[in-house]
Chain A
């Protein structure tokens, strides 16, 4: 339009470069999640579907059903916070002298502090019944703000960590999922405002699910 010819040549070159950069996406296989379209295709039906899903997820029965066969997600679809959780686990769980910033002896202060920083009321679940006691916790930088990181261990020193971050309010991805990142297994879910990732390097899926189950029940009594 009001471009000089030289400008147009530049725009053409720019366009070519952009195609070179991004055209490979056109031939990538489309992830399955993008093909799952609602059958009935109507807003009301979809809304009803989400309400049903919410009820399902919100009840213990729903949780059990899902927990019994968690989806193993293709690496590419695992949200980035899960990787961060696994890295945090791998970084802090072998620590002998400084595994946490604030120890379990100051649990009240720890929980109050992390709740304040995340801007959401947190709780450190009690996992003694499963043989895990709270070691303490720390504040971590996440990709969208501060993250709370709780550590638990058995009397033999086997450790699990719970990574808790705040989510966008409209985030509705509440499915419970399982992923492995390196040698760290992570069970994760999003519940209203918070995203959770429970990590362990030595618990298998079934044992990790038991712990995740206990955590979920306590956070949603």
Chain B
């Protein structure tokens, strides 16, 4: 398989990650589209034999950072979102929805690390590579992200699940 075919193969993976990262479908596919455009035009910079997927994630990370810089307006809200009163929860599907909402409230640099490790199953080293940051930063961001998620999800009433483990 040549590089081009490999890129096409990886589009669903890019879309999954983008959806988790950007949330809404159109915005996520915009991110994928911009990533692909940049990847096609920079393909000559990709070093053959290295991990193409990691390279694409790096491209997406850079596109994402640029987009956020351009959008700017949403950034300051990231850190200190107020807790809203939650209605009583009934089932496990709602826990998933809470998780989705909680992830959306993480600062974007922590969200990226969390998703690369927990959704894309990357090692710390691979995530560090993709985001072009030191491995120690990956670990500290991951720890902070998990701590925040724990705090956000612990705010749910009993039965809504203080632990993620109840999600089957």
Chain B residues with CB under 8 Å of A169's CB are: 70
B119 to chain A, nearest CB (A): 4
The answer to the question of A219 belonging to the interface, with a C-beta cut-off of 8 Å to chain B, is no
* Complex alpha-carbon distance, A38 and B29, angstroms: 18
Answer whether A20 and B96 are a contact pair too, CB < 8 Å, given A11-B146, A33-B29, A41-B4. yes
> Is A96 engaged at the interface, CB distance under 8 Å to the other chain?
no
B33 near A33 with CB under 8 A, answer yes
State how many angstroms separate the Cβ of A30 from the closest Cβ of chain B. 5
What is the CB-to-nearest-CB distance from B69 to chain A, in angstroms, rounded to a whole number?
10
**Pairwise interchain contact A37-B167, C-beta atoms closer than 8 A:** no
Q: Given A21-B20, A26-B16, A33-B33: A15 and B121 within 8 A (CB)? A: yes
Interface of chain A: mostly helix, strand, loop or mixed: helix
Contact indicator A77/B70 (Cβ below 8 Å): no
Kindly identify which residue among A9, A27, A28, A41 contacts B40, using a CB–CB cutoff of 8 Å: A41
Q: Kindly provide the distance from the CB of B86 to the nearest chain A CB, expressed in whole angstroms.
A: 18
The residues of B that contact A221 with a CB separation of less than 8 Å are none
Q: How large is the interface on B (under 10, 10 to 19, 20 to 34, 35 or more residues)?
A: 35 or more
Given contacts A11-B118, A15-B118, A144-B71, contact A25 B164 (CB under 8 A): no
B54 sits at the interface (CB 8 A): no
- Whether the pair B16, A22 counts as a contact (CB closer than 8 A) is yes
Q: Does B50 contact A (CB under 8 A)?
A: no
A157 at interface, CB cutoff 8 A: no
State the CA gap A138–B89 with chains docked (Å).
41
Whether A43 contacts B99 by the Cβ 8 Å rule is: no
- Cross-chain contact A17 with B96 (CB below 8 angstroms): yes
Instruction: Give the B-binding residues of A (Cβ under 8 A).
Output: 1-2, 7, 9-11, 13-23, 25-28, 30-31, 33-35, 37-38, 41-43, 46, 76-80, 144-145, 168-170
A-B interface, 3 closest residue pairs, ranked by CB to CB distance from nearest: A25-B16, A15-B118, A13-B164
A–B complex contacts, Cβ < 8 Å, 14 sampled: A1-B139, A11-B146, A18-B119, A21-B20, A23-B16, A25-B12, A25-B19, A26-B13, A28-B15, A34-B11, A35-B11, A41-B43, A77-B26, A80-B24
